[in-house]
Amino acid sequence: MNRKAVLDAVKAIPTGADHAWDGLSEDDRPATAAELNAALESDRRRRGRPKLERPKVSITLRVDADVADALRASGKGWQTRMNDALKEWLREHPSA
C-alpha cells in the first residue's frame, strides 16, 4: 500500500468512528506507544549493512605514481588487494 492510498484510507474514516477495543480479542487491541516505538526501532535496526566489530578506517596514503598505476591497472577491487597485501606484510613482520 503506497502513501497516497494510506492517506486516502485515513481521510475516508468517518468522524466518530474511532476504534474502541472491547477487551476481548487481543488481535483488535490497539498498539501502545511503547509497542509502536519498539516496532519502529526494530525496523531501523534491520536496515543497511550490519555494523562491524572493527570497521575499516579511511586514511590518506601517498604512494609512488607507478605503484598507484599498477594497482589501478589490476582492475576492480584493487583497494581490497592492496589491503590484503598490507595484512600479509604485517603477518610476516610482526614487530613492525
Closest CA to 81 of 93, 91, 68, 92: 68
| 66 in Cβ contact with 73 (< 8 Å) | no
| 19 in Cβ contact with 30 (< 8 Å) | yes
Reading the block at residue 84, the C-alpha cell is 590484503
How does pLDDT run across 69-88, given as a tens digit for each residue? 999 999 999 999 999 999 99
| 39 in Cβ contact with 31 (< 8 Å) | yes
Question: How many Å apart are CA 94 and CA 43, to the nearest integer?
Answer: 43
- 25 HSE (CA, 13 A, CB side): 4
Reading the block at residue 11, the C-alpha cell is 481521510
At residue 67, the pLDDT reads 93
How does pLDDT run across 19-62, given as a tens digit for each residue? 666 677 777 777 788 888 888 888 777 677 888 899 999 999 99
At residue 86, the pLDDT reads 93
At residue 50, the pLDDT reads 80
At residue 72, the pLDDT reads 93
Reading the block at residue 43, the C-alpha cell is 525496523
At residue 69, the pLDDT reads 94
